[in-house]
Amino acid sequence: MIQMLDTRATRHHLGTLRVDGGVHNVSVRIAYDGVEHVGRLWFADSVRDVEGIPDYGVIPGRTADDVLAAARQMDAEDLTRRFHRAHAEKRRYIRLRRSVEEILAKVKYMNRVAISMRGGMLDADAAEQELDLVTDQIQDIVSRLKDVAA
C-alpha cells in the first residue's frame, strides 16, 4: 500500500518589498501537484490587505525546501517584476478563484487515488475512505462558494 500524498499547501513569509510607494508583504505558497512541488509568490499590502494577490508564474522544485530556497534567492528586482506582473493580471474575485483552484486540486488528487487503486498500489478500502474524505472536503468548499463570491 502507498501512503497518501499530502496535498495541503503551506505558506512561508519571505519578507517585505517597497514598490510603487507602498510596503508589501511577500510570501510563497507551496503545494505538491503529484509530480513536483510548485510555489507561487503572493503580494499583500502590509496595511490594508491580509490575503494579497498571487503572481501567476510558478517556482517549481523537487521538494518544498527547493521551492522555498529558490524563492528566497530572488532579489528585489526579481520580486518587483513579479509584483508588477501580479498586479497587471489582478482579478477582482481572488477568494472565489482560490476556492475553484482548491476544488480542481482535490479532483486531481481523487484521480491519482483512483489510478493508484486500479494499479494495485492502494487497496480498495483505503481508496474508498480517501475518496469519501476528499468528497466531503469538496462539498465543504462548494457550500462556501456563495460567500466568497459576494
Is residue 59 in some structural domain?
yes
Stronger pLDDT, 80 or 10, i.e. the higher one: 80
The reply to whether 99 and 74 lie within a common domain is no
Is residue 20 in some structural domain?
yes
- Distance set, CA 136 to CA 49, 58, 139 (Å): 30, 29, 5
Structure confidence at residue 21 as a pLDDT band (50, 70, 90):
confident
The predicted model gives 9-36 an average pLDDT of 89
The set of cell numbers assigned to 133 is 474524505
Number of domains the chain contains = 2
The reply to whether 14 and 62 lie within a common domain is yes
Domain that holds residue 76: 10-90
Indicate the residue among 66, 90, 114 that finishes a domain. 90
The set of cell numbers assigned to 143 is 457550500
pLDDT value at position 117? 87
The reply to whether 85 and 113 lie within a common domain is no
- Three-class SS of residue 102? helix
Is residue 139 in some structural domain?
yes
Structure confidence at residue 56 as a pLDDT band (50, 70, 90):
confident
Can you give the pTM of this predicted structure? 0.60
Residue 7 has pLDDT above 60, yes or no: no
Containing 45, the helix (H) or strand (E) segment is strand 37-45
For residue 48, the 8-state DSSP code is: T
Residue 92 has pLDDT above 60, yes or no: no
Distance of CA 7 to the CA centre of its chain: 9
The reply to whether 76 and 101 lie within a common domain is no
Is residue 4 in some structural domain?
no
Residue 4 has pLDDT above 50, yes or no: no
Q: Which of 51-55, 91-95, 101-105 has the lowest mean pLDDT?
A: 91-95
The reply to whether 52 and 73 lie within a common domain is yes
